[in-house]
């Protein structure tokens, strides 16, 4: 949240955040923060600057609580990954929109895809070692 980092507004999703409400556990831009601060319901809320968030981040509750994503067509939790379409879907989608497709639970698919990525990174890691050793050798030769 400090330096090169920034947070987008959790309310409008369009602007960069300028403040953080501890009670709402949300980041707000200038415009949304103005509305937030006008509402009687939020008068006792504590809003802090992003610099203060950066300094006290270890004291804050989870800034972005985990959100259960829902299917836009069926309003059901997205728990399945369609391997055919490479899309997250709900259980209703498996028998309607994605009938006959290959799919699996997100948790199982995550592990499978993570392993594929890990195995594809191995040759890159090996090349990094080779290039680093070559760079070290060249550096020693220059001295």
Average per-residue pLDDT in the chain? 84
Q: Is 50 exceeded by the pLDDT of residue 3? A: no
Q: Are 88 and 80 in contact (CB under 8 A)?
A: yes
Segment 113-127, tens digit of pLDDT: 888 888 888 888 889
Segment 63-116, tens digit of pLDDT: 455 567 888 889 899 999 999 999 999 999 999 899 999 999 988 888 888 888
Q: Is 50 exceeded by the pLDDT of residue 4? A: no
Q: Are 107 and 77 in contact (CB under 8 A)?
A: no
Block residue for tokens 């997100």:
106
pLDDT band at 59 (very low <50, low <70, confident <90, very high): low
Nearest to 110 by CA among 74, 139, 83: 83
Block residue for tokens 């592990």:
111
Which tokens is 132 given?
Answer: 């680093």
Which tokens is 38 given?
Answer: 């006008």
Segment 11-50, tens digit of pLDDT: 998 999 999 998 888 899 999 999 999 988 888 999 998 8
Pick 96 or 55 by higher pLDDT. Answer: 96
pLDDT band at 6 (very low <50, low <70, confident <90, very high): low
Write down the pTM of the prediction. Answer: 0.42
């Amino acid at each position: 949240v400090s330096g090169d980092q920034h947070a987008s507004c959790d309310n409008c999703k369009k602007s960069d955040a300028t403040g953080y409400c501890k009670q709402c556990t949300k980041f707000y831009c200038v415009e949304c923060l103005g509305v937030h601060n006008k509402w009687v319901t939020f008068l006792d809320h504590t809003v802090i600057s992003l610099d203060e968030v950066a300094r006290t981040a270890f004291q804050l509750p989870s800034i972005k609580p985990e959100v259960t994503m829902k299917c836009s067509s069926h309003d059901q939790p997205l728990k399945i990954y369609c391997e055919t379409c490479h899309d997250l879907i709900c259980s209703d989608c498996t028998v309607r929109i994605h009938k006959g497709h290959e799919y699996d639970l997100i948790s199982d698919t995550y592990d499978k895809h993570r392993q594929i990525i890990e195995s594809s990174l191995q040759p890159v890691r090996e090349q990094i070692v080779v290039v680093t050793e070559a760079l070290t050798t060249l550096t020693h030769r220059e001295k």
